[in-house]
Amino acid sequence: MIEQIRDKARELLEGKQVSCFIGYEQGTRGKARPAFIYAPQEVERLVWDEGCAHNLTTYLHQFKNPVKRGEPPPRVGIMVKPCDARSLNVLFHEKQLDRARVYIVGLTCGGMKDDGQLLARCQRCSERVPVVYDLLVGEKPGTVGQEDYADVAEMEGMSPRERLAFWAREFERCIRCYACRQACPACYCFECVAEQLDPPWMGIAIDLPQKQFFHVMRAYHLAGRCAGCNACEEACPMEIPLSLLNRKIAKEVEALFGYKTGQDAITPPPLATFKKEEEVPL
Amino acid sequence: MAAEFEPQIVGFLCRWCSYPGADLAGTSRIHYSPSLRIIRVPCSGRADPLLVLKAFQDGADGVMVLGCHPADCHYVEGNYHARRRYALMHRLLEYMGIEKDRLLVEWVSAAEGGRFAQMTTEFTNQVKELGPRGGI
C-alpha cells in the first residue's frame, strides 16, 4: 500500500504535476506526523499506518495563493482518509479549493489507533472509502461502525442545570489557545469572530462566559460543515470533549434537514439554503 | 420581603413587521411587560444567532427573536434563513444548559399589536418562573 502511495507521489513530483505532496511521515517520538514532500527523492519518508490520525486538508489552505503574482496557485497532492475526504468536499463546495488543483490519494481506512486502541470516532465511523479521490489505495475493510450518538443522548437525558454544570466544568479548563480552530479544515476565516474587535463579540479574558461563547460560536459556525474528523478535539491540550458538541449539531442537522456533511461538493449546507414550504419546528 | 425577580429580556425585532407590531401595541395603549428591551434589527435574518448568544453571555434571562411571518419578509427570504438558524440554535442552547423556554422565536406581523403584547407578557412570566439564569 505504502509503495503505491510513494510511487504515485514520486510520479506526480517528477512530472511537476504537483509542487508539494502532503502525507505522513514517522515523527521523532514514534508517532506519525504530517509531512510536506517537495522533491521526488524524499518520497521514501512517507508512511501510512494506524497512527495517521491528522486531517491533512487543513494544510491545503496554505496552498490557496499563488507563489508568484499572476501565476495560478500551486497544485498539491494529498493523502486523505474517508473523514478527511468529507472536509475536502466542504472546501470544494465553498470554493476554497479548485478540485483540479488537488490530486487526491484516497486511502481506505479501517480506523486509526492510539496505543493499540481504536479511536472512539473510528469505532463510530461507517465510511471506510473516501467519497472523493483520484487514486484509491487499499482494499475496502470489511467491518464498519455505526454512529448511534449514545454519548450525545446521555447528555440530552440530563437536566438543563446538570448540562450547564457539565459544560462549565469542561470549558473552565479551556486556555483559549484556539488549537481547535487552527486544526479545523473548515475554520478558515481570515478574521475570526474570536479576534474581531469591532464589534467586540467576545472579550479577551480567561473568563468562563467568554470561553463558552467561543466554543458555542465555533461549533455553531461549523453547523452542517463539520465533517466529523475530530481534529479539534485531538488538538485540544486540555482534553475538552468537543466532539460531544459537534456531534450534537450533526445529529440535529441530520434530523431537521436530512443533511450529512461532505457527501458531495454540490449540495449546499443546510444553513446556507432553505425551502419555503418546509416545516421547521422552532 | 424579597423583591420579586424581574427578568431582563432582550428582544430582536424585525424592522418591517414585529417592530411596527410593538409600535401598534404602544399606540393602542395595550399594556405589555416592561422587562423587555427591544433592539430593532433590519430583518430577523439579521439577528445573527451569535447576537442571542451574546445577549445570554451578557446576562439576559430571556431572548425573543421576532420576525415577519414566512412569505412576508420584506427581503423575500430573510425569515426563512432565520427559521433554519434558530431551529438549530434553539437545540444547541438547550444542549448547553440554557432552558428551551428562555428563547422565543416567533412571527409577528405589523397588525398584531395585541398578539405581541400577549406574547411578551406570557414569555416574561415563563422566564420569571424559570428564575435568574446562571452561566451562559
How far apart are the CA of B99 and the nearest CA of chain A, in angstroms?
A: 6
Helix B49-57, helix A208-221: angle, nearest 10: 170
Number of CB atoms found within 10 A of residue A196's CB: 12
- DSSP state, residue A200: B
Instruction: Let me know if residue B16 belongs to a domain.
Output: no
Structural domain span for residue A242: 150-272
Domain count, chain A: 2
CB–CB of A280 and B87 under 8 A?
Answer: yes
pLDDT tens string A213-266:
999 999 999 999 999 899 999 999 999 999 999 999 999 999 999 888 888 888
Contacts of A39 (CB under 8 A, 6+ apart): A13
Do both A161 and A244 map to the same domain? Answer: yes
Instruction: Let me know if residue B14 belongs to a domain.
Output: no
Going from the C-alpha of B129 to that of each of A41, A209, B78, B117, B126, the distances in angstroms are: 71, 23, 32, 19, 5
Interchain CB contact of B76 with A (< 8 Å): no
> How far is A147 from A160, CA to CA, in rounded Å?
24
Average pLDDT estimate for A201-218: 87
Do both A156 and A91 map to the same domain? Answer: no
* Residue B2 banded pLDDT, cuts 50, 70, 90: low
Instruction: Let me know if residue A279 belongs to a domain.
Output: no
pLDDT tens string B19-67:
999 999 999 999 999 999 999 999 999 999 999 999 998 889 999 999 9
Instruction: Let me know if residue A53 belongs to a domain.
Output: yes
SS3 A173: coil
CB–CB of A212 and B92 under 8 A?
Answer: no
Interchain CB contact of B111 with A (< 8 Å): no
Instruction: Let me know if residue A278 belongs to a domain.
Output: no
Number of CB atoms found within 10 A of residue A152's CB: 21
Do both A157 and A186 map to the same domain? Answer: yes
> What does the pLDDT read at residue A9?
93
* Residue B136 banded pLDDT, cuts 50, 70, 90: low
Given A73, A105, A137, the domain boundary residue is: A137
Instruction: Decide if A35 contacts A22 (C-beta within 8 A).
Output: yes
> What does the pLDDT read at residue A145?
76
Instruction: Let me know if residue A282 belongs to a domain.
Output: no
Do both A133 and A193 map to the same domain? Answer: no
Instruction: Let me know if residue A199 belongs to a domain.
Output: yes
> How far is B101 from B90, CA to CA, in rounded Å?
9
Tell me whether the omega of the peptide bond preceding residue A199 falls within 30 degrees of 0, making it cis: yes
Among candidates B87, B89, B105 on the partner chain, residue whose Cβ is nearest the Cβ of A220: B89
Average pLDDT estimate for A33-38: 94
pLDDT tens string A135-145:
998 887 777 77
Instruction: Decide if B16 contacts B110 (C-beta within 8 A).
Output: yes
Helix A208-221, helix A160-172: angle, nearest 10: 100
Do both A101 and A130 map to the same domain? Answer: yes
* Reported pTM: 0.91
Instruction: Let me know if residue B7 belongs to a domain.
Output: no
* Residue A70 banded pLDDT, cuts 50, 70, 90: confident
Instruction: Let me know if residue A264 belongs to a domain.
Output: yes
Instruction: Let me know if residue A133 belongs to a domain.
Output: yes
Do both A154 and A125 map to the same domain? Answer: no
Instruction: Let me know if residue B41 belongs to a domain.
Output: yes
* ipTM entry: 0.90
> How far is B111 from B27, CA to CA, in rounded Å?
12
Domain count, chain B: 1
Side-chain half-sphere CA neighbours of A78 within 13 A: 30
Instruction: Let me know if residue B68 belongs to a domain.
Output: yes
Structural domain span for residue B107: 27-128
Average pLDDT estimate for A29-54: 91
Given A71, A102, A137, the domain boundary residue is: A137
How far apart are the CA of A136 and the nearest CA of chain B, in angstroms?
A: 36
Give the three cell numbers for residue A104: 487526491
* Residue B135 banded pLDDT, cuts 50, 70, 90: low
Q: Which residues of A touch B (CB under 8 A)?
A: 155-156, 160-168, 193, 201, 208-210, 212-213, 216-217, 219-220, 223, 245, 248-249, 252-253, 256-257, 270-271, 274-276, 280-282
Instruction: Decide if B61 contacts B9 (C-beta within 8 A).
Output: yes
SS3 A102: strand
Residue B53: list chain A partners with CB under 8 A: 213, 216-217, 220
Instruction: Let me know if residue A7 belongs to a domain.
Output: yes
Do both A208 and A240 map to the same domain? Answer: yes
Residue B127: list chain A partners with CB under 8 A: none
pLDDT tens string A75-121:
999 999 999 999 999 999 999 989 999 999 999 988 888 888 888 88
> In this prediction, what percent of chain A has a pLDDT beyond 70?
99
pLDDT tens string B73-119:
999 999 999 999 999 999 999 999 898 899 999 999 999 999 999 99
Instruction: Let me know if residue B10 belongs to a domain.
Output: no
Do both A11 and A128 map to the same domain? Answer: yes
Mean model confidence pLDDT for chain A:
89
> What does the pLDDT read at residue A141?
74
Average pLDDT estimate for A191-213: 85
